[in-house]
Amino acid sequence: MHLVEIILDTEYTHIPAEVKISCNNKLIFNDIIKSKKTITHNLKIKDGLDLRISKFGKTKAIVDAGHKQIITIEKVTLNGIDLKIDVAGVFSIKDNVYVPNKELITTMLTLNGEWSLSIPPTYSLPGHLTHAGKIIQREFVDSDVCCFGASNTYKPDVRCWPDHLANLSKLKVQNYGISGSGWLEITRLVEEYSLLVKSRDLIILSPGRFRFQLQDQDEWLNCNDLTKLPKESILRHETEHYVAVLSGHLCEFFDEISKSNRIHVCLDNQEEYELFQRTPLKKYLIPGIEFPEERLLDRRGHWDERWHFDFAKKTARHIGIL
């Protein structure tokens, strides 16, 4: 489930406003607002988030008397992430005397109308295996620790963290990282592997940003070129909205996997690592990971061997094998 929290405040000098709130076409609130109010709602998100806050009650009599009637949307969060409503939402003014219908970017609702915020879906998890993923799947073997990720998990010219983890722990460690991969393929690999083993430590170091998949005839390809997505699929305020929606999907997915295996997750960049710590996914995150810029190998976000060693050491301690 995903948790939406809406904080409203009000100011009025005569009659308070009536507010209706719908979330993905479901009415979740319908009442008079006389003081500051927090509304929370748990929902399933399959087709993105569509939030609508309607304000009613500013009659001609109230306007002519010069009375105030204001609803302020102070904050909206999804899974603990601030959705940047000051620039992401739109207020459609309608059904007012003296004022024509129009749209404003504001969170202060002084007139009648409907404020809305829409976030397109990220993607459904798990995704599909690419050609490389299918090869990896055929190589699955039981191990004490299994590692998943992209080029910060498997990079031929770098000794990555799974190798250091094996040396530190003296356990059997398998590396199923795929360069260029993302959450879609990683979750598919984790799901397939978890069907074969029980009570194992599955560690995921996820790449950053929005990586999706495209189908090319009979094969699936990983891609992060947003120009190849439909315009309506592009997330505004990309990182925050992406993490807000994706965190709920990931938490539901890992809750199922963790019934048979132990899940440990980390992001490979500071921004998303900090954002995910505010979400329900925090319970699976490896704590205390740092991302000093001097440890970067390049501008593409690849880390040097010293970073990989430090990450392996902290991970080993976290899961209790060092």
pLDDT along the chain (322 residues), means of 10: 94 97 96 97 83 97 96 96 90 95 96 93 86 96 97 93 94 95 96 97 90 89 76 60 88 96 96 94 97 91 95 96 84
CATH code given to domain 2-119:
2.60.60.40
Q: What is the pLDDT of residue 211?
A: 83
Domain boundaries, the chain: 2-119, 131-319
Q: What is the pLDDT of residue 87?
A: 84
- Print burial letters for 23-43: b (CB count within 10 Å at least 16), e (below 16): bbeeebbeeebeeebebebeb
Q: Which tokens hold the place of 276? A: 């995910």
206 in Cβ contact with 149 (< 8 Å): yes
Q: What is the pLDDT of residue 235?
A: 53
- Print burial letters for 183-220: b (CB count within 10 Å at least 16), e (below 16): bbbbbbbbebbbeebeebbbbbbbbbebbbbeeeeeeb
CB atoms within 10 A of CB 313: 15
Strand order in the sheet with 173-175: 173-175, 145-149, 201-206, 262-267
Residue 21: which of 1, 7, 34 has the closest Cα? 7
What's the rounded Cα separation, in Å, for the pair 9 and 76?
12
Does the N-terminal peptide bond of residue 126 adopt cis geometry, omega within 30 degrees of 0?
A: yes
Q: CATH says 131-319 is which class?
A: alpha beta
